[in-house]
Structure 1
Amino acid sequence: MSTSPSEPLTVAALYFDGHSARAWPATLSLDGDALLLAAEGLSRRAPLANLRLSEPMGAAPRLITFEDGAHAEVRDHAALARLLGATGQRDRLTVRSAFDLRMVAGALALLVVVLWGAARYGLQWAAEIAAPRVPEAVVAGLSRQTLELIDEHMLTPSRLSEDEQSRLRGVLADRTTLPHALVFRHGGEVGANAFALPDGTLVVTDELVALAGDDERVMAVLMHELGHVELRHGMRMLLQGSAVALFMTWYAGDVSSVIAMAPTALIQSGYSRDMEREADDYAAAALRAQGRSPALLADMLQRLSESAGRGRKNGAGWLDSHPDSAQRIERLRGRA
């Protein structure tokens, strides 16, 4: 191809007539708003508007297709761009953007923002919608498996007397109409702890009862845990955390692996700050409705915080899965 400004722009190509596999060496040039193709023994002229130009794909030749199916292959992308540029034509914006580093970087940045937004807000919204729709049989089975796992690996039978356990169950039954089951375990290295399973099972360690010192503080903690149950926080947390795994196992057709890992996920995952605030608000409203102060929960949080500060060795106490205790204490005292 000549680059002299006094000569017309030409581009080397291979021409295929669409009827045979033969390739004719050819040259392309412009004639006003038409493309001229010249090869040994043949020539073609076609308006540029009637031709279809393929998008660039690395080093692969670009195809210029005529209306009857014949096409020309051009390997010199730069020469073709200069030829078309002489007519004022340009590739579509999407094509140009793919070769513009700034556009590529911008697209990648936008993708990261979209993925972050989907993970931060989309999953949360989807889990909030889906959690109340999980069948009760699934919730009960998941909670049962979780409690079995806890009993096998974390906790031991309670050392509280049957009378004390029965008394605390009776106090809680008088304070709430929500379906629940209150069970006690000895925490050992877990220490002072209380947590709710999705079906309403409330697990309280002997150490938390001892740290509370009276029934009112124990009940304040249980009101908070009932808030997690009523607001479906356990299922929401599980659905959010397992979204990718759920999708992959659905795609692979093996849902059993997600069901098997769900109890462990429930134990190991902590509640989000928003969920903690929601459960605190639920507990504060419940305590006020009972004629009691939300400061009871703040007092218990303070005791748990001080206990943790005294150096529980391998503890995984209530504050480990219920973070931001200082802010929560201040907030609850402000609502007392």
Structure 2
Amino acid sequence: MREFAYQRAHDVPGAVALLGTVPDARFLGGGTNLVDLMKTGVERPALLVDVRQLPLGEIELTEDGGLRIGATVTNSDVAAHPEVRRRYPALAQAVLAGASGQLRNMATVGGNLLQRTRCGYFADPTHTSCNKRVPGSGCAAVRGEHHNHAILGASAHCVATHPSDMGVALAAFDAVVSFESADGQGELALSDFYLPVGETPHLETALPPGALITAVTLPPAPVAAASRYRKVRERASYAFAIGSLAAALDVRDGVVHEVRLAFGAVASRPWRAREAERVLTGGPATAEAFAAAADAELAAAEPLPDNGYKVPLLHNLVVTVLTELAEEAAR
């Protein structure tokens, strides 16, 4: 493990300035992903800038009826907050589906969005072929172990998936990421936050260099009150998803008035299922319609030899969860 310096930031501009003093510096929140990667040698920062004491730990109602979640709010506090549970229940469920209680007590919202892939080739520096870790070295997973890798939006340069459960729910609800950089404050819609894989999978987000995430804002979304997060994993306890779905549904007189769908564990970023939403909106709220919408979204899937099971898995998730939500709306 490389020796590193440590400094605690006392305000946001000071944190950004500190990070700019050392080329290989990193922000430290809960450290639940970064510290693990430092232990294995994947991450080798020369300086850690501790941001846990910054005034970014509140969840507040916005004037238009949304929620603003500070970047240092812990995952546990997100899941327990009454307004999150009432207005965006799928977000609370997604957080509770991820990791153990101990990890949720440490992990932060900002860090959750920036966590790195759990691809085994990325996490093990003894493997030389990983374009995320060593740009231009190749992607060993394409011909190696890839049963839990991407079926949507991947490329020959990387087939890793993003591990966040929280991010899937945030994607469904059009979250906006606020940040501060040396050039001032800025915002990115979550749909623009993660970069396409393309030929540069090591470039993961559109954040400016040295930027610090300060908050995530959820716009008002009445449909989100009738939402659900469903996660499928290989074991019941503390496992990453092999497929997941955040869904919200507004049905009126048997017709889909509004629907939100986002997939997890199928791409390098939380995958907003916009084609499925388009197919469903204005149509009947039936199992047949839900199946057709799932098929429309998954028509773009390009599974590898060992992860084709994710296509029927996601199909079944969409049909099952939307049917449950439709039946609840009809009661």
TM more than 0.5: no
Considering Cα pairs closer than 8 Å and 6+ residues apart, tell me whether 1 or 2 has the greater RCO. 2
- Based on CA coordinates, which of the two structures has the bigger radius of gyration? 1
Question: TM-score, length-normalised on structure 1?
Answer: 0.24
Question: TM-score, length-normalised on structure 2?
Answer: 0.24
More strand by percentage: 2
